[in-house]
């Protein structure tokens, strides 16, 4: 490319008659002037690797083919990456040497893109020299080629990298790149039967992608599963993560992500927790209450009390139902215990401070009206009263008090198979739809139903809102996924799983920073209660 000069009238002082120059090579061509003046700019290199991110700029100031010594010069950079983002580079000031040359190193050119380096002549006060309003300067363009590979990391899926046979595991892969992530390749080798996945990361500069790994029931114990991840950026650079080895431990029935700890506290028998459906914790005594449907003293349906300290199940049942007990919940103080008895019944028991027990079971609705007709989980609202999921009516119903009245519809849109119910921080309600694999949000005032969670959910059932806390899951909805044997959080960015289980979770309850998980009979086990701490 050629250097072009333009002359502008007579000179008033040495160095002020230099004309505007734009150039990228040292070849000089005059334009109607036998003694051209100007600023010559060269870059070495002008095709820059983002790994190095530097170039050398050389500027020469010439008047009548004579280099100008001690001429003040300022070098500035205009630089935009391929995504259209401008990146600031500090200007460099200096003076020319006896050859009329000034040289400087430009750094920070690490994003793939293009730019222009401009060298302008300054006067003695440090202001740009201009002739007829045109600055005396020269410029050269450059291009930055991304040769920096992305940074790839496999995040530990469990606290100690131990997993149990038959457990699902969500593995997060985090990739960072200054230009953008194109694809993430993941593979689980060994006892995980070489599961492979690829996800297009859509150009994000910081992407966390979750991959599902199912540990087989017959997985060999020991360090028998290895996780691999490879990522490419938008420029085609690739990088591999450090492999992560998982240790299969047959003793593990629950696993949790780093920051949380899980443990089995109660294992069911044929006489207790043979077919549990719902769980809640009483604010009155701190004990766990489970809606169970098993033999023995239950006569097919009862509410049982469990001590969370040692997992012991009380031999005395709280109450015996008439059908299938599906839900159990407490009001804000714990003074009243509410339950659903399918078919057709909503009941209440009152706390007796003298006996330290819930007593006097009372049916709250008009049973003959068959409303609700098939109640499942329920929650108690301070203003609206009992809010219950009714499978037959495919609605959330509201019963304001326990006076044999009929519930009214709270949701204004039909659901399919409503099961779990939770009350959010602002008084909104959430309901799981077991058949649609979705969690819906219900407006408490208008009854409007909108989809809240449908990202890869598999038979969502029990729900509970986690208010506050110190974990990354604070202020999110906890969802028991029966189909995937997970409890997940509605908080996104790939940080969804809070517990991986060998058994099928059906409900959750939260008290004092501990989440209690109730599982149905599965994996050759009866009902179980697990505790997860760290919230």
pLDDT-based confidence at residue 496 (cuts at 50, 70, 90):
confident
Query: Is the CB of residue 169 less than 8 Å from the CB of residue 157?
Result: yes
pLDDT value of residue 494: 52
pLDDT grade for 194, boundaries at 50, 70 and 90: low
Write out pLDDT tens, residues 219-262. 999 999 999 999 999 888 999 999 999 999 999 999 999 899 99
Q: What is the mean pLDDT of residues 453-470?
A: 86
Largest CA distance in the chain: 113
Which pLDDT score, from 0 to 100, does residue 21 have? 36
Query: Which residue in the block uniquely carries the two structure tokens 């940074």?
Result: 151
Query: 124, exposed or middle or buried, with CB in 10 Å at 0-12, 13-18, 19+?
Result: exposed
- Give the pLDDT confidence score for residue 70 in this predicted structure: 93
Q: What is the pLDDT of residue 455?
A: 58
Cα gap 63→37, rounded to integer Å? 4
Residue 488 Cα distances to 456, 476, 485, angstroms: 11, 10, 10
Q: What are the tens digits of pLDDT across the range 53-62? A: 999 999 999 9
* pLDDT per residue as tens digits for the range 320-343: 999 999 999 999 999 999 999 998
Distance CA 147, CA 178 (A): 11
**pLDDT tens for each residue of 62-118:** 987 889 999 999 999 999 988 889 999 999 999 999 999 999 999 999 888 999 999
- What does the pLDDT average to over 389-414? 93
- C-alpha 110/C-alpha 107 separation (Å) is 8
Give which of 269, 308, 310 is closest to 289, Cα–Cα. Answer: 308
pLDDT range class, residue 132, cuts 50, 70, 90:
confident
Residue 171 has pLDDT above 70, yes or no: yes
Q: Is the pLDDT of residue 20 over 70?
A: no
H runs (alpha helix) in 124-224: none
CA quadruple 310, 313, 318, 323: dihedral, nearest 10: 130
Report whether pLDDT(28) > 50: no
Are 129 and 32 in contact, with CB atoms under 8 Å apart? no
Average pLDDT, the chain: 88
What burial letters (b/e) apply to 197-214, b meaning 16+ CB within 10 Å? bebebeeebebbbbbbbb
Which residues neighbour 279 within 8 Å (Cβ) at sequence distance 6 or greater?
288, 289, 290, 291, 328, 462, 507, 508, 509, 516, 517, 518, 529
Residues paired with 380 in a beta bridge: 386
Reported confidence tier of residue 265, pLDDT bands at 50, 70, 90: very high
Residue 125 burial (10 A CB sphere; 0-12, 13-18, 19+): exposed
pLDDT at 506 over 60: yes
Residue 1 in this model has a pLDDT that exceeds 80: no
CA distances from 84 to 81, 113, 179, 205, 465 (A): 5, 8, 11, 14, 41
Ranges 196-210, 333-347, 516-530: which has the least confidence:
196-210
pTM: 0.74
- Domains delineated in the chain: 3-145 (2.60.40.1930), 151-248 (2.60.40.10), 254-533 (2.120.10.30)
The answer to whether 365 and 404 are in contact (CB under 8 A) is: yes
The Cα–Cα gap between 178 and 204 comes to 9
């Amino acid at each position: 490319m050629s250097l072009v000069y333009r002359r502008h009238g007579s000179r008033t002082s040495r160095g002020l008659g230099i004309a505007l120059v734009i150039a990228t090579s040292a070849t000089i061509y005059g334009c109607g002037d036998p003694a051209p003046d100007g600023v010559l700019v060269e870059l070495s290199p002008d095709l820059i690797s983002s790994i190095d991110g530097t170039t050398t700029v050389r500027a020469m100031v010439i008047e009548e083919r004579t280099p100008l010594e001690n001429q003040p010069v300022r070098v500035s950079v205009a630089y935009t990456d391929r995504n259209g983002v401008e990146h600031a580079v500090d200007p460099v000031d200096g003076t020319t040497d006896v050859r009329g040359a000034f040289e400087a190193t430009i750094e920070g050119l690490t994003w793939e893109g293009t730019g222009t380096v401009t060298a302008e002549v300054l006067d003695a006060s440090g202001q740009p020299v201009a002739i007829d309003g045109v600055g005396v300067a020269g410029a050269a363009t450059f291009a930055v080629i991304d040769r920096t590979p992305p940074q790839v990391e496999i995040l530990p899926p469990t606290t100690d990298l131990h997993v149990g046979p038959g457990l699902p595991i969500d593995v997060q892969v985090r990739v960072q790149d200054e230009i953008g992530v194109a694809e993430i390749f993941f593979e689980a080798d060994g006892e995980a039967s070489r599961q492979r996945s690829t996800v297009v990361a859509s150009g994000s500069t910081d992407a966390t992608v979750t991959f599902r790994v199912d540990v087989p029931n017959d997985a060999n114990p020991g360090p028998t599963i290895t996780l691999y991840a490879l990522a490419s950026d938008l420029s085609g650079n690739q990088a591999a993560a450090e492999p992560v080895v998982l240790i299969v431990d047959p003793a593990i029935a629950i696993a949790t992500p780093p920051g949380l700890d899980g443990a089995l506290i109660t294992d069911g028998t044929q006489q207790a927790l043979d077919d549990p459906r719902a769980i809640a914790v009483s604010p009155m005594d701190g004990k766990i209450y489970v809606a169970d449907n098993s033999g023995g003293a239950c006569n097919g349906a009862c509410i049982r009390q469990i001590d969370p300290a040692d997992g012991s199940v009380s031999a005395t049942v709280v109450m015996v139902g008439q059908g299938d007990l599906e839900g159990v919940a407490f009001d804000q103080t714990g003074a009243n215990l509410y339950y659903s008895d399918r078919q057709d019944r909503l009941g209440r028991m009152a706390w007796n401070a003298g006996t330290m027990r819930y007593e006097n079971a009372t049916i709250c609705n008009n049973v003959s009206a068959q409303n609700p007709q098939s109640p499942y989980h329920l929650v108690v609202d301070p203003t609206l009263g009992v809010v219950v999921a009714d499978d037959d009516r495919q609605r959330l119903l509201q019963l304001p008090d326990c006076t044999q009245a009929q519930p009214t519809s709270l949701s204004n849109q039909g659901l399919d198979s409503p099961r779990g119910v939770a009350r959010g921080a602002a008084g909104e309600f959430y309901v799981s739809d077991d058949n649609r694999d979705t969690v819906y949000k219900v407006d408490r005032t208008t009854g409007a139903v909108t989809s809240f969670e449908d990202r890869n959910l598999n038979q969502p059932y029990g729900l509970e809102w986690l208010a506050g806390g110190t974990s990354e899951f604070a202020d999110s909805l906890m969802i028991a996924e029966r189909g995937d044997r997970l409890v997940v959080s509605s908080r996104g960015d790939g940080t969804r799983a809070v517990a991986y289980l060998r058994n099928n979770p059906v409900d959750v309850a939260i008290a004092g920073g501990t989440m209690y998980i109730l599982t149905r009979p599965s994996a050759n086990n009866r009902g179980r209660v697990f505790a997860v701490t760290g919230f």
